[in-house]
Amino acid sequence: MAVDLAGIERVVKIIARTAVDNETYFGELDSVVGDGDFGYSLARGFEIVLADWDDLDRTDAATFLQKIALIITGRIGGTSGPIWGTAFLRAAMAVKSRETLDGDTVLAMLDAAVEGIKARGGADVGDKTLLDAIVPMRDTIAARLADGASTKEIADAAAATAREAAQATQTMQAMRGRAAYTGERSIGSVDAGATAIGVIATAIAEQWS
């Protein structure tokens, strides 16, 4: 699995476009037990990313991701900005220390992002957050890398896992964020953040060649 700056750029652009295109859908999911601003906040931040795309510093992968993190943190409101911004910033730090960009680098970036999200949001797997999709997706990527799968096969498997994991949040009770205040009423609906990860992972898999 080969990774380079162009590949990272492509993934980030897909994330940004998917966030903007699914603003209404993500907002509707969040409004079930949350405050409904998730889709709006995510879209507004990634709109800035797309608007500033040509001017972003591309000295290296770490610098590029740091710039994305700064935009997200500064432009996305609520809790989403700090959490998503931290994820990109930690990923940038992980790639900065590596001379070779490969499958192990992808795992290092995901691991760093996960730890950043946990620290920033005080959440863990099982709390009904985006972590419940990201962590299983990361584990699938690791397993398929070990099997020697192609990049496309890995992307397809990661997307399938993320979708399934997001759907599984329907049976969970929210323990973090605004949804946590609803208690057992949060059971029966999927988590908006986890679902967003599934939608984004699917878009990446579909557009990868």
pLDDT at 203 over 80: yes
What is the structure's pLDDT at 179?
54
* CA–CA distance, 53 with 9 (Å, rounded to integer): 10
Return the C-alpha torsion angle 145, 142, 200, 14, nearest 10. Answer: -50
pLDDT in tens, 111-123: 999 999 999 888 8
pLDDT in tens, 21-79: 999 999 998 887 666 788 999 999 999 999 999 999 999 999 999 999 999 998 887 77
Please state the rounded mean pLDDT for residues 125-148: 96
What is the structure's pLDDT at 175?
58
Quick one: pLDDT band at residue 184, thresholds 50, 70, 90?
low
Please state the rounded mean pLDDT for residues 8-26: 96
Adjacent-strand bridge partners of 102: 2
Domains of the chain listed by start with CATH number: 5-207 (1.25.40.340)
What is the average pLDDT score of the chain? 89
φ, ψ for residue 57 (rounded to 5)?
-70, 120
- Closest by Cα among 146, 149, 160, 194 to 34: 194
Give the percent of the chain with pLDDT over 70: 90
Map tokens 């603003």 to a residue: 23
Quick one: pLDDT band at residue 187, thresholds 50, 70, 90?
confident
pLDDT at 181 over 50: no
What is the structure's pLDDT at 185?
54
* CA–CA distance, 103 with 10 (Å, rounded to integer): 16
pLDDT at 183 over 80: no
Asked if 107 and 146 count as a contact pair (C-beta separation under 8 A), the reply is no
Six-digit token pair at 9? 């750029």
pLDDT at 100 over 80: no
Return the C-alpha torsion angle 199, 201, 206, 208, nearest 10. Answer: 150
